[in-house]
Amino acid sequence: MLVEAEIWTIARTDQGNAVLVRPIGSESAVPIFIGQLEAQSILIGLGNVPMPRPLTHDLFITLFSMLGAELQRIEITALKEGTFYAQIILSKDNGEELIVDARPSDSIGIAVRAKCPVYIDESVVDEAGISVSAVTSGSEEAASNPYEQEKRRLEEELNRAVEVENYEEAAKIRDKLQKLSETFPHGGEEGA
């Protein structure tokens, strides 16, 4: 099921740049690791920075308009083997809906310029989401890497659960740690 989200922030980590997509009102955010050029383009769009010539994402928005298609929303739909998937949803003047497969980084780059809604599948949030507090608090080194911060937070929770002999909770946390390491096998170094 898709939920509305926001492009919360872009973080620079030891493994590269991550755009954090946060479901509205949620205490979780999904880090999607992207390249330097994609991060720069998203930041330009977020900041409404005027450019002397259109960038690729600006060009797409112009093409949509010229072809009579309106950008309705973007959707981050899946996470498979460490790769995120997204779609751009357009509507034509005749009411026809067009769905275009795209990288999340390109979808987000277009969405921040067009100020269109962003949606993310709850299953992606469940699988790859990290605590917002893990990103906003903690050591400087960990704050620069959302994956490491979430890993440390879960490890601390696991230790507390074991200390009070709550083994059922400890097993759940262990499973979350395992899923985190499977989702980001290189410590968060994933393509968009």
Could you give phi then psi for residue 14, rounded to 5 degrees? -65, -25
Residues 15 and 102 in one domain: yes
Check: CB of residue 79 under 8 Å from CB of residue 128: yes
- Total count of domains within the chain: 2
Per-residue model confidence (pLDDT) at position 142: 41
Specify whether 102 is located in the same domain as 142: no
Shared domain for 160 and 93, answered yes or no, is no
Strand 28-34 relative to strand 69-80, pairing: unpaired
SS (H, E, C) 117-185: CEEEEHHHHHHHCEEHHHHHCCCHHHHCCHHHHHHHHHHHHHHHHHHCCCHHHHHHHHHHHHHHHHHCC
> What global pTM score does this model have?
0.72
Count of beta carbons in the 10 Å neighbourhood of residue 113: 21
Task: Name the stretches of the chain with pLDDT < 70.
Answer: 134-150, 180-192
Tell me, yes or no, whether 168 lies in a domain.
Answer: yes
* Per-residue pLDDT reduced to its tens digit, 11-48: 877 778 899 999 999 999 999 999 888 998 998 888 88
Segments forming the whole domain that contains residue 67: 2-125
pLDDT value of position 135: 67
- In total, the chain counts a number of residues equal to 192
pLDDT at 139: 40
Residue 62 within any structural domain of the chain: yes
